[in-house]
Structures are given as structure tokens and as C-alpha cells.
């Protein structure tokens, strides 16, 4: 590949770029990612977390290139294949709205679409399509590979972009760890990438690097506990997502029919719109006050927290049914004598072990063994790996928040409502 420039990155060092990559990066649509933070709200707890989707996308592209180069000596993968990998990795987050995954919660609730749906449209319908196709690449193919869902290419290429061994996860662990200042995400991704093998067109790893895979998986688990699901980070996010949803009918944030309007939204412009709302209704006034509280870091307070297990049928319903959560919120509000809008029910959840590129739980990993007698491989169930198997399942947390002035009353109401067993008999099963 012919590199025509370089970008200095604090995580990976110099990232060299090709002509098509430079032209893509220079589009106004890609430059917009500079104004969307990687970890919405985390900067209110970890002040250094000011990094954006822009540099994460560059880092993911860089690691995708390393993965392609590592595999080029082990399977048939051309320079064009590696360029497609790099372009797809570069564009995998181009559809994110303001505040990243936070805004996606509003998109999903209001429109039942994700940032990935929008990424595909951007790659196929905007100036990015023109750049890609001018250089001889198919925008539809790139849009599918950017999601790890291309049906035309070997499965391992999809798995490099999205899945249990994806370069996306590798970069965000390193980058988020670096900028938040926590240690958990600092794993040896180069060891992992260099150990990549191909078995039946799927990603496998050299058995000698199993420890690197275990460290990688556990690092992700610890980062969710320490950073992504931190109770104060989630408090800020809960305020902002409710503000966006309350104001959406008036400000049309989730109207993505016209991509131009959507692509004007950034973190700061969206927050400014919320703060500048005319409080013509109760909902708009609440949206405005929540946004001001977010800006000034006057955050809601946690009055209940429970790490849960899916085997509890009541807990399963809380996690999966918004109507149950709404019913509990109203019950707690009644018990506390406060407005139900002052109760915030938060249920962050993620699989403890990442999904595969086909969005299925990662249930096994293939280990390749090289000896003087030849090469053999074994597919090992994740549950049989002592360290990773111990954290299998879902990381589920139930939290209830309220405004600082209602904290004491809400704590008493939660205790009375949930009782000593940690769940309520007041909600119909």
C-alpha cells in the first residue's frame, strides 16, 4: 500500500494513511466526529476523557491494517482487501449522533434504528460514497463490512471489524483507558493481533497467545465496571438521555429522514439547543433543567444499586420490560411523595464476553497449535476457560436515581418498596 501522509496518535504513535483514507478523513462528514466525544458524560467523572470518535476511528483503522498485514502471510489476502478493511474500520462509527451511544438510546426508543443503520446510509448516500468509488471501491460493500456484516467476503474479515476479537474493542479499551487514566484497558493487542490464524475462514488464535485473549476479555469486563457503567457516569447520561427524549418532539433530534439535519448535530450544538429551550410546557422545562444540570454537573444521586443475575425471573422482567420499570418508578415516587419524573431507573447491561460479528454470544474460541509435527487446532468452549468462563453471562446493574433534594425520601421509599430481599411484591409478576 502507498502511504502519502501520517497522523500522530497518543495511543498508537504514527498512523500512516493512504490517498483514499486522507480524502475520506478530509470530508466534512468525517471531520464532524471531532465534535462527538467517545464517552459521553464520562468527562464529568474522569476529566481527561475528552477524546472523540474521530481519533477512535483512526485507531481502529490502524489496527485493522495491522490485522490484515498479520494475516497476509497466513491466508490469501490482497492489498485491496487490507485497504477495504482499513476503510471499513475508519467508517465504522461515522453514523454516531451527538453523545455517541447515549443518543442511540433515543434513536432506538423513538425510531427503532441504530447508529449502524445511519452509518450505512452515510457511506452509500453522501460525499463519502463519491470518495470511495472514485478510488475504485464499492460503497455498498464498504458499508456492510463497516458493520462486520458483509456476505461477500470471508467471515474472518467481518470478525476483524466486529466481534469478540475485533479491532474496534481493542482500540477503545486502549484509548479509553489512556484518557480516563484507569489501568484496566491496557492490554497487549499487538500480541493478540500477531497471533491471529484462520481456520475454516474464521478467526482463530495461536494457543500460545491464549493469555492475551483472556487479559483482553477481562480488561473489557473491568472497563465496563470501572468506567462505562460507573454510577456517576451513568447518572449524567440518564439526565441527558431523558432531556433529549423530552425535547425531541419540539427539536426533532431523531428525525433522520434528512441526513443533512442529523449531520449538523454535535455534542455542543445539541446541549446548547436543550439549554436554550423555551419552557412552553412541563416537558420542555424539565428537559431544559436536566440539560443545565448536566452542563453544571449538578447530577442526580443514586439511591439504589443492585448487581443482578439473570436467573432471577423478576430481575429478567425488569431488565427486559420498560413497562415494569415504569411501574416500579411510579410506586417508589408514590412511596416517597415525589413526582414520578424525579425517579430515574437505569439498567445498563452488556454481555460479559463480546458478541461475534453475527451478533451472537461468543461461545467458543479456536486455538491453533504449532509443533514440529505440524499444525493442529481445537475449538474450546469459552466456559471451559478458567478465567473467561468465570465472568460469562451478562453484566447487569439496576440503579435508581433521584434529584439531590429528594435523596433522603427516595432512599427510604426504595427500602420500603423493594424490601430486604431486593425485589418488590408490589409489582405484578
Question: Would you say residue 375 lies in a domain?
Answer: no
Contact call for residues 118 and 95 (beta carbons, < 8 A): yes
Residue 97: the pLDDT is: 93
The pLDDT tens digits of the residues spanning 292-317 come to 999 999 999 999 998 775 545 555 66
d(CA 49, CA 296): 17
Average predicted confidence (pLDDT) for the chain: 90
Rounded Cα distance, 28 and 35, in Å? 11
Q: What is the pLDDT of residue 357?
A: 56
- pTM of the predicted model, to two decimals? 0.92
Model confidence at 420, in pLDDT bands (50, 70, 90)? very low
Q: Mind listing the pLDDT tens digit for each residue in 126-154?
A: 999 999 999 999 999 999 999 999 998 89
Is residue 43 a part of any domain in this protein?
A: yes
Within-domain flag for 291: no
- Range of lowest pLDDT (33-37, 325-329, 376-380, 416-420): 416-420
Give me the pLDDT at residue 428, please: 41
Rounded Cα–Cα distance for residues 381 and 368 (Å): 14
Q: Which residues contact 166 (CB under 8 A, 6 or more apart)?
A: 148, 159, 160, 354, 357
The answer to whether position 353 is within a domain reads no
Count of domains forming the chain: 1
Would residue 356 count as lying in a domain? Answer: no
Instruction: Say which residue the cell 443514586 belongs to.
Output: 302
Q: What is the mean pLDDT of residues 161-176?
A: 94
pLDDT of residue 370: 87
- Mean pLDDT (whole number) for 69-75: 91
368-408: pLDDT as tens digits: 998 888 889 999 988 888 778 777 777 778 899 999 999 99
| More reliable by pLDDT, 258 or 123 | 123
Contacts of 138 (CB under 8 A, 6+ apart): 132
Cβ atoms of 17 and 115 within 8 Å: the answer is: no
Q: Which of 100-109, 192-201, 221-230, 318-327 has the lowest mean pLDDT?
A: 318-327
Estimate the crossing angle of helix 322-336 against helix 313-320, to 10 degrees: 100
Mean pLDDT of 88-96: 97
Nearest to residue 298, comparing CAs of 230, 234, 229, 235?
Answer: 235
Range of the domain at 113: 5-231
Task: Answer yes or no: is pLDDT of 105 > 90.
Answer: no
Q: Is the Cβ–Cβ distance between 229 and 45 less than 8 Å?
A: no
Q: Hey, which residues does 378 pair with through a beta bridge?
A: 367
Task: Give the CATH number of the domain where residue 23 resides.
Answer: 1.10.3210.10
pLDDT digit string, tens, across residues 254-295: 988 889 999 999 999 999 999 999 999 999 999 999 999 999
Res 421 pLDDT > 60: no
144 burial (CB, 10 Å; 0-12 / 13-18 / 19+) is buried
Cell 440503579 sits at which residue?
399
Report how far residue 34's alpha carbon sits from residue 55's, in angstroms, rounded to the nearest whole number: 8
Asked if residue 35 is part of any domain, the answer here is: yes
Q: What is the pLDDT of residue 412?
A: 92
* pLDDT the model gives residue 285: 96
Tell me which range, 57-61, 335-339, 373-377, 405-409, is most confidently predicted by mean pLDDT.
57-61
Residue 418 lies in a domain: no
**What pLDDT does residue 424 have?**
41
Residues 63, 56: Cα–Cα separation, whole Å: 11
Residue at grid coordinates 408514590: 334
Q: How far apart are CA 20 and CA 169, in angstroms?
A: 24
Chain-centre distance for alpha carbon 244: 19
Res 422 pLDDT > 50: no
pLDDT of residue 362: 79
Are 14 and 66 in contact, with CB atoms under 8 Å apart? Answer: no
Tell me the three state secondary structure of residue 96: coil
Q: Does any domain span residue 368?
A: no
C-alpha cell at 397: 446493574
Residue 318 to residue 297: CA distance in whole angstroms: 29
pLDDT score, position 429: 34
The answer to whether 118 and 92 are in contact (CB under 8 A) is: no
Amino acid at each position: 500500500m502507498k502511504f502519502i501522509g501520517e497522523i500522530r496518535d497518543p495511543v498508537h504513535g504514527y498512523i500512516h494513511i493512504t490517498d483514499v483514507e486522507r480524502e475520506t478523513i478530509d470530508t466534512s462528514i468525517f471531520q464532524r466526529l471531532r465534535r462527538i466525544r467517545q464517552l459521553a458524560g464520562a468527562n464529568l467523572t474522569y476529566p481527561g476523557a475528552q477524546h472523540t470518535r474521530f481519533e477512535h476511528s483512526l485507531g481502529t483503522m490502524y489496527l485493522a491494517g495491522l490485522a490484515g498485514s498479520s494475516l497476509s502471510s497466513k491466508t490469501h489476502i490482497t492489498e485491496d482487501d487490507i485497504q477495504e478493511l482499513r476503510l471499513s474500520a475508519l467508517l465504522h462509527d461515522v453514523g454516531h449522533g451527538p453523545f455517541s451511544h447515549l443518543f442511540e438510546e433515543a434513536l432506538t426508543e423513538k425510531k427503532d434504528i441504530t447508529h449502524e443503520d445511519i452509518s450505512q446510509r452515510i457511506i452509500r448516500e453522501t460525499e463519502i460514497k463519491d470518495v470511495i468509488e472514485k478510488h475504485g471501491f464499492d460503497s455498498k460493500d464498504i458499508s456492510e463490512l463497516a458493520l462486520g456484516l458483509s456476505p461477500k467476503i470471508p467471515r474472518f474479515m467481518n470478525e476483524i471489524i466486529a466481534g469478540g476479537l475485533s479491532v474496534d474493542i481493542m482500540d477503545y479499551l486502549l484509548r479509553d483507558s489512556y484518557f480516563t487514566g484507569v489501568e484496566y484497558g491496557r492490554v497487549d493487542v499487538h500480541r493478540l493481533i500477531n497471533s491471529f490464524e484462520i481456520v475454516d475462514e474464521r478467526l482463530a488464535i495461536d494457543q500460545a497467545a491464549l493469555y492475551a485473549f483472556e487479559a483482553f476479555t477481562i480488561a473489557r469486563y473491568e472497563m465496563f465496571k470501572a468506567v462505562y457503567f460507573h454510577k456517576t457516569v451513568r447518572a449524567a447520561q440518564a439526565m441527558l438521555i431523558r432531556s433529549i427524549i423530552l425535547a425531541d418532539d419540539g427539536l426533532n433530534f431523531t428525525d433522520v429522514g434528512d441526513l443533512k439535519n442529523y449531520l449538523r448535530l454535535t455534542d455542543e450544538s445539541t446541549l446548547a439547543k436543550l439549554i436554550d429551550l423555551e419552557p412552553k410546557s412541563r416537558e420542555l422545562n424539565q428537559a431544559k433543567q436536566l440539560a443545565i444540570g448536566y452542563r453544571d454537573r449538578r447530577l442526580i444521586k443514586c439511591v439504589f444499586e443492585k448487581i443482578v443475575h439473570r436467573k432471577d425471573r423478576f430481575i429478567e422482567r425488569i431488565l427486559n420490560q420498560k413497562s415494569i420499570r415504569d411501574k416500579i418508578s411510579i410506586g417508589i415516587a408514590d412511596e416517597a411523595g415525589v413526582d414520578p419524573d424525579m425517579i430515574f431507573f437505569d439498567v445498563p447491561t452488556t454481555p460479559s464476553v463480546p458478541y461475534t460479528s453475527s451478533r451472537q454470544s461468543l461461545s467458543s474460541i479456536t486455538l491453533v497449535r504449532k509443533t514440529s509435527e505440524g499444525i493442529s487446532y481445537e475449538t474450546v468452549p469459552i466456559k471451559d476457560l478458567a478465567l473467561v468462563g468465570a465472568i460469562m453471562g451478562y453484566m447487569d446493574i439496576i440503579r435508581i436515581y433521584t434529584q439531590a433534594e429528594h435523596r433522603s425520601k427516595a432512599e427510604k421509599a426504595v427500602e420500603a418498596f423493594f424490601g430486604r430481599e431486593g425485589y418488590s411484591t408490589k409489582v405484578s409478576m
